[in-house]
Amino acid sequence: MEHVQTDILILGSGGAGLFAAHHAIDSDPDLDIIIAAKGMIGKSGCTRMVQGGYNVVLHPDDSVEKHFYDTIKGGGAINNQEMAWTLVNDAPKRIQELETKMGVFFDRNEDGTVHQKPFAGQSFDRTVHKGDLTGIEIISRMRDQLYAKPNVAAWDEVRAIELLVDENNRVAGCLMLAMNTGEFIVVQSKAVIVGTGGAATMYKIATPSLEKAGDGMAMCYRAGTAFLDMEMMQFHPTGLLAENSRLNGGVLEEGLRGAGGYLMNVHGERFMERYDPERMERSTRDRVSRAAYMEIMEGRGTQLEGVYVDVSHLGKENVREMFPGMVERCFDVGKDLSQEPVEISPAAHFQMGGVHVNENNESSIEGLFVAGEDAGGVHGANRLGGNGVCDSTVFGARAGDAAAAYVQQASELRAYSDIQVQEIIENVMTPFDREEGENPFYIRNDLKNLMWEKAGLVRNEKALQEAVEGIADLEERVKRVSVKGPRMYNLTWQEYLNVRNLVTVAKMVAESALLRKESRGSHYREDYPESDDEAWLKNVFVQKDQATWTEDVVQNRIQVGDIKGHKIELVSN
């Protein structure tokens, strides 16, 4: 088993991980940094998949106050207000850095200013973009610039297994696995930054990259950090329906609705008129997803159990010029987005909840920093489209700065337990010792169906209780998995590690959803169909070996009573 020492270990190479690496090494070029990805650095993860763009205040008629208000309103008013304020204030600095230091090319207006387009939930057109494939531009430039930095080692196809802490609950490093050899690596580090992404792939229809399995969240949970808002799972309203294809659930970007696209049921009705007549298709993701789901459940869906998005009325040439990536994606499943309606369905997309951190991404474990989708608080009950990559870059940068400052104060590496390492290895190697046992691929399929049916877009007490009980059964099945063959590139073993983490995160989601007895943002309880500010202006917390609990939302920058439209209220059809 290999042993490696470094100053900062960064897990994940999306927007959060790459920005953290840049900021940490820029703070102190003498630091030794390892950035590790389960896939290929800069070629995997979800930031690369971002299509729509990046919300940022650039126009003189816009303001950070407006962006902040939109973010809190969209989040059902349970956001961590300090983190949301940090998000909107740091975003212009990060855009400037992306352009001037990373070489990112955003689309421009004829006068040379950066073009900003409309996005749902925004009171101003503030979404910066590169066509409809913004994430590829951002990640590719950041990756290329990182390779020019000194003392940064990039590890491809090395996944994190478990965080290591010392006897004083300070981070000591991480046990890693080189997937190409099947060999373990102990990385001893002064600080660890976790940015591996969420676990939306626990649902039957989901948008994230296939390697996403909530690894960072599950490791942080097992290490003992507290989580908040885990019931808040965002479903993207326009996931492409491609039956029996890996493209099923792939996102058709929000700009389609922002540009004037229609959402229609099987009868050709623009159904958003029933659910949000003021904003129609430009309503927030949670409301549009729920509306589409209700149309499908009430028998007005398509044969594939979806609805339609239609932008053909915008003109074939306009659609192909504005959305070339989306047109190509639809061509892959035999549809012409520029000339015909395309079948879509809500798809699990993003977790608003995550590890409880402060605005500098510090967790309750000293030396452990968490950024991006792994961290909770900033988005509250629902993330606005365009605030995701903004979150990753803003808080990835802050995590990098904070970790570098911490390491400069931490004079020595922390001691980890050899016994702990051996116990972890024995635990994850146990499936090789079983001649017969459970198949992890079957367990994942059962988890996807369970979460979709019992803890998905529309929830109730009975279904959520069944979800909690079903997840407990899946936890036991995970303990009985059997794996055969060599350790290198063993897909069954990797799937066992994936589903082990997915079930851990699913448990937090279901337990938190069961506790919140109201509807808010992306969390909709048909037995409690309205938002209840009097009883539930709270965040739900969950932690290993503790009962779930709630804490009041801190209203330090804006009073919730001053926000209009943040609640779910009954609408008569």
Domain 433-552, CATH: 1.20.58.100
Whether residue 120 contacts residue 111, with contact meaning beta carbons closer than 8 Å, is answered with no
- On the question of a common fold for 236-349 and 433-552, the answer reads no
| pLDDT for residue 571 | 59
For 298, which DSSP code?
I
Residue 273 has pLDDT above 70, yes or no: yes
Whether residue 250 contacts residue 329, with contact meaning beta carbons closer than 8 Å, is answered with yes
What span, in angstroms and rounded, lies between the C-alpha atoms of 287 and 30? Answer: 48
**Strand ranges, E, within 145-247:** 152-155, 158-165, 171-178, 183-194, 227-228, 233-240
What span, in angstroms and rounded, lies between the C-alpha atoms of 42 and 18? Answer: 8
User: Is 282 a known active-site residue?
Assistant: no
Whether residue 267 contacts residue 417, with contact meaning beta carbons closer than 8 Å, is answered with no
User: Is 236 a known active-site residue?
Assistant: yes
Tokens of 338: 């520029």
What span, in angstroms and rounded, lies between the C-alpha atoms of 129 and 109? Answer: 12
Bigger pLDDT: 37 or 135? 37
Q: Most distant CA pair in the chain: distance in Å?
A: 68
Bridge partner residues of 7 (DSSP)? none
Q: Tell me which of 67, 94, 141, 257 is the catalytic residue.
A: 257
What span, in angstroms and rounded, lies between the C-alpha atoms of 138 and 525? Answer: 37
Summarised one tens digit per residue, pLDDT across range 145-177 is 998 888 999 999 999 999 999 999 999 999 999
In angstroms, how far is CA 264 from the centroid of its own chain? 27
What average pLDDT does this structure show over 120-140?
A: 88
Whether residue 66 contacts residue 88, with contact meaning beta carbons closer than 8 Å, is answered with no
Residue 573 has pLDDT above 60, yes or no: no
Whether residue 487 contacts residue 493, with contact meaning beta carbons closer than 8 Å, is answered with yes
Question: Lowest-pLDDT range, 133-137, 138-142, 267-271?
Answer: 133-137
Pick from 193, 198, 186: which is nearest to 236 by CA? 198
Residue 572 has pLDDT above 60, yes or no: no
Whether residue 191 contacts residue 199, with contact meaning beta carbons closer than 8 Å, is answered with no
Q: Tell me which of 94, 236, 290, 566 is the catalytic residue.
A: 236
Whether residue 521 contacts residue 380, with contact meaning beta carbons closer than 8 Å, is answered with yes
Residue 283 has pLDDT above 60, yes or no: yes
Residue 459 has pLDDT above 60, yes or no: yes
Q: Which residue has the tokens 């989708």?
A: 373
Summarised one tens digit per residue, pLDDT across range 314-337 is 999 999 998 988 999 899 888 999
In angstroms, how far is CA 232 from the centroid of its own chain? 11
Q: Is the dihedral of CA 520, 522, 524, 529 positive or negative?
A: positive
What average pLDDT does this structure show over 367-382?
A: 96
Summarised one tens digit per residue, pLDDT across range 480-506 is 999 999 999 999 999 999 999 999 999
378: alpha, beta or left? (left if phi > 0; alpha if psi -120 to 50): alpha
Summarised one tens digit per residue, pLDDT across range 394-439 is 999 999 999 999 999 987 899 999 999 999 999 999 999 999 999 9
What span, in angstroms and rounded, lies between the C-alpha atoms of 151 and 327? Answer: 41
Please give the mean pLDDT across all residues of the chain.
93
Summarised one tens digit per residue, pLDDT across range 535-551 is 999 999 999 999 999 99
Bridge partner residues of 376 (DSSP)? 356
What average pLDDT does this structure show over 210-228?
A: 95
Pick from 358, 38, 365, 379: which is nearest to 176 by CA? 38
**CB-neighbour burial class of residue 405 (10 A; exposed 0-12, middle 13-18, buried 19+):** middle
1: how many CB neighbours lie within 10 A of its CB?
10
Bigger pLDDT: 47 or 532? 532
Q: In CATH terms, is domain 236-349 a member of 3.40.50.300?
A: no
| pLDDT for residue 162 | 98
pTM score, whole prediction: 0.93
What average pLDDT does this structure show over 280-289?
A: 87
The residue ranges of every structural domain in the chain are: 236-349, 433-552
Summarised one tens digit per residue, pLDDT across range 285-296 is 888 998 998 899
In the sheet that holds 538-542, the strands lie side by side as 375-376, 354-356, 227-228, 538-542, 549-552
| pLDDT for residue 44 | 79
End-to-end Cα separation, the chain, in angstroms: 64
Bigger pLDDT: 402 or 255? 402
What span, in angstroms and rounded, lies between the C-alpha atoms of 523 and 511? Answer: 13
Residue 179 has pLDDT above 70, yes or no: yes
